Structure 1
């Protein structure tokens, strides 16, 4: 199947929010505390699109996945308890979610690989991410793709595992 990774537009907002709601329910079903506190929400999606940091993975005319992709802007990452691999420009990835009818196809990995291409296209060779300690699926994906555990960062009062991948 061919997938297209592109910037989200306002018409995508409802589909993206639906995908994130499915992800919220999936996290809960998996016993994870991630995304169980009212975040993300529809306002976050609207804000991502307005700031032009929301991206979708499209299969034909259907949105199969979503992620926020941010260059050099995550204040929480400045206060890592640990050490990043690099101090250069970086791409931050937040809110990876896959539509329920597209799970199990490796699309989170596809999104991360698309973000690697995005980073290289922008002359950036570092990707920084974080996830809850109990998001086993995402932790496995980071490991498979060569992300290195760098320490902990804190969001909304809770610790998250932080990873970096230096790409060449």
Structure 2
């Protein structure tokens, strides 16, 4: 398949929002509490894109996945109940979602691997992520990719499991 991972354009916000809405419904159908409080929403997507943090996964130019990637900026991570593996620069990945009809192809994993490439290109060797305690699919992906559980963080009144992966420097 011809996959590309790139920064999103504001004109793509509606398509991205559709993918996120599908993911919100999936989380609800799975019995999860994650994303059931009006977040994320279209305004969040637009802000991601305006801050150049919104990224899309495309297949033959069709948007099939989304994630927000920020550098060294997640205030909630300063209040981790636990201990991070590193205290250096880091990349944060939020709001990862895959479009209906593209599930089960390992695309969430692919987005995480693309995120690692972006981090390494910027000489950043840590990726920090979090997810809801009941997002079993994402928890399994973190485990498969070598993310280490570091503790809990709080977002919008809910506790989330926090993970970090330390990347190897390219030779």
TM-score class normalised by the smaller sequence: over 0.9
Q: Does 1:112 align with 2:105?
A: no
Q: Trace 1:13-92 onto structure 2 (pairs within 5 A).
A: 13-92=13-92
Q: Which residue of 1 aligns with 2:154?
A: 154
Aligned-pair CA distance for 1:61: 1.6
List alignment gaps of at least 5 residues for structure 2: none
Deviation above 6 Å: which 4+ runs of structure 1? none
Other structure's SS at 1:102 match = coil
Other structure's SS at 2:105 match = coil
TM-score for the superposition, normalised by structure 2: 0.98
Q: Which residue of 2 aligns with 1:167?
A: 167
What CA distance in whole angstroms lies between the structure 1 residues aligned with 2:82 and 2:3?
Answer: 36
CA RMSD of aligned residues (A): 0.4
Q: Does 1:136 align with 2:136?
A: yes
Aligned-pair CA distance for 1:11: 1.4
| Offset from partner CA, 1:90-124 (integer Å, 9 cap, x none) | 00000000000111100000000000000000110
What CA distance in whole angstroms lies between the structure 2 residues aligned with 1:145 and 1:11?
Answer: 32
What CA distance in whole angstroms lies between the structure 1 residues aligned with 2:2 and 2:9?
Answer: 20
Aligned-pair CA distance for 1:14: 0.8
Other structure's SS at 2:36 match = coil
What CA distance in whole angstroms lies between the structure 2 residues aligned with 1:28 and 1:166?
Answer: 32
What CA distance in whole angstroms lies between the structure 2 residues aligned with 1:89 and 1:158?
Answer: 25
What CA distance in whole angstroms lies between the structure 2 residues aligned with 1:125 and 1:134?
Answer: 28
What CA distance in whole angstroms lies between the structure 1 residues aligned with 2:114 and 2:12?
Answer: 19
What CA distance in whole angstroms lies between the structure 1 residues aligned with 2:2 and 2:145?
Answer: 20
List alignment gaps of at least 5 residues for structure 1: none
Other structure's SS at 1:101 match = coil
Other structure's SS at 2:101 match = helix
